[in-house]
Amino acid sequence: MNDVNASNSNAIDDTDVQPADETPITAATNTTATISSARTTHTSLWHNPQYRSWFTADTASATGLALKSFAISLVAFSLTRSLPTAGWLATASVIAAQISGVFGGTLADRHNRKRLIILNAACGTVLWGTVCAMLATGLLTFPVFAVAIVTASTVNGLLGNATNAMLRSIIPTADYPKAQSLNQGRDSVISLAGSPLGGMLYAFSAWAPFAAASLMYAVAGVSASMLRVDEHARNAIGRDSTDDDITGGMSSRHGSFIDDFVEGWRWMLRRRTLMAICVIAALLNFGINGIFATVQLQLVGSGVDSVRIGFVDMATGAGMLAGAVIAARVCDRMAVGTGLIVMSLAALATMTPMLVSRAYPVILVSSLLCCLPIPTLNSLVLGFVFAKVPTDMQGRVDSSSNLLGMLPTLFCSAIAGSLLPTIGFRMTVALFLTALAANVTIVLAMPAVRSIPAADRWDEAEL
């Protein structure tokens, strides 16, 4: 699923994150584990050297992503002087990542995940290092830049699922809500520092954010190489599990790539609650991402300096950071259904002021407030889905649900870039607000979603 995440808000995801345990988890037994206290959970996580290596690798790659993502629209606009072109490049990047990600989940379930993480980091280091060098020497053209962006997105889509899927082999299921709140806090800090830092680096020179991103991906690769996790355990889980509630009555033994690919989709499409969550995620992602894309392109087109644009992402990061603190306190006790209702209402209410004003302070305040409930929602929803999906299918369910939850969002930047010059800021925002209003109606009208319980009763709920 897709995280609602600061400047690139993906409402409900496992962004960027998902957990596991060095001891094989069979069937659904661990879904009933009692969630430990915040202190106990945090201690167990940080005392686990494998989790520390995983967290470092994931943090470095997330930092690299934040630094280079901020500069992409600015570089594209500087090369073309066209808002629609800059918007369509961002859309092409997301489409490439989502299409390749559909197959990436199956790759993550069939191959050594550590090697996939290292390969992804190596590709990021080389690609962004090349973009940096070409910008520094004045050789970069828009077609070359576009190819680099789409290639990087494709590689990340194919290989990026391995990071999330591997976490199930590192920490226990019961630790997931707290691990997710930690990751949300980490992502919030990156948003707070990453975009302003990216803006300052870009103000220094257009190549600087890409140089920093290349370095961060190199750090991610080195950290991933330190992981020592026996991934053969997940194959044993698939062979030994006989619980039809978890496997859906299907064998988890690996067949051909196509067989495994189809099996993952079949398993997911049979889960009604999961499909409903995907619909909700799609509407939230489309509405929130669309408004943020509209804001960024409006500021870029208006000639606002890169540092001030970066402060918008800083505001969303501040909201996420404060929200992560709240999530750490309530994610053990709050019902998932309650979190979905709160997030849906909050997204609509906090984004509506931009319909009547595009003043910079209004944008900052709305962005901050919208992100406050996101970490709690991500911790609840991703924890629930994580606990109900068998270990050997984490990658496939992750990629499939991501595609469904992000499908309308693929076109947010293109829609915003195309509509801004024709119908203006307010009407473009109104279009995305309509999606958020539709989502509120759906959430309130679906008892199956509203009734999803808190973590200590997940064993009673169906996915």
User: What's residue 243's pLDDT?
Assistant: 40
Kindly provide the b/e burial profile for residues 33-53, where b requires at least 16 CB atoms within 10 angstroms of the residue's own CB: bebbeeeebbebbeebebbbb
> Quick one: angle between helices 49-80 and 83-110, nearest 10?
150
User: What's residue 409's pLDDT?
Assistant: 84
User: What's residue 282's pLDDT?
Assistant: 94
User: What's residue 14's pLDDT?
Assistant: 40
Low-confidence ranges of the chain (pLDDT < 70): 1-44, 168, 173-174, 177, 188, 191-192, 195, 229-255
List all residues 6 or more positions away from 255 whose beta carbon is below 8 Å from its beta carbon. Answer: 263
List all residues 6 or more positions away from 326 whose beta carbon is below 8 Å from its beta carbon. Answer: 372, 373, 375, 376
| Domains of the chain, start order | 6-228+272-460 (1.20.1250.20)
Phi, psi of 136 (to 5 degrees): -65, -30
Alpha-carbon distance 212 to 96, whole Å?
Answer: 23
**Which of 410, 404, 399 is CA-nearest to residue 95?**
410
| Residues recorded for the chain | 463
DSSP of 208-252, one letter per residue? HHHHHHHHHHHHHHHHHHT----THHHHHHHHH---HHHHTT---
User: What's residue 170's pLDDT?
Assistant: 81
Encode pLDDT of 131-175 as tens digits.
Answer: 999 999 989 999 999 999 999 989 988 888 788 777 767 877 667
User: What's residue 62's pLDDT?
Assistant: 86
DSSP of 368-430, one letter per residue? HHHHTTHHHHHHHHHHHHHHHS-GGGHHHHHHHHHHHHHTGGGGHHHHHHHHHHHHHHHHHHH
Q: Position 1: which residue type?
A: M
User: What's residue 346's pLDDT?
Assistant: 94
* 455 DSSP assignment: G
User: What's residue 254's pLDDT?
Assistant: 54
Tokens describing residue 268? 């997911």
Kindly provide the b/e burial profile for residues 417-446, where b requires at least 16 CB atoms within 10 angstroms of the residue's own CB: bbbbeeeebeebbebbbebbebbbeebeeb
List all residues 6 or more positions away from 111 whose beta carbon is below 8 Å from its beta carbon. Answer: none
**Which of 100, 156, 418 is CA-nearest to residue 290?**
418
CA distances from residue 444 to 277, 342, 382 in whole angstroms, order as listed: 13, 11, 20
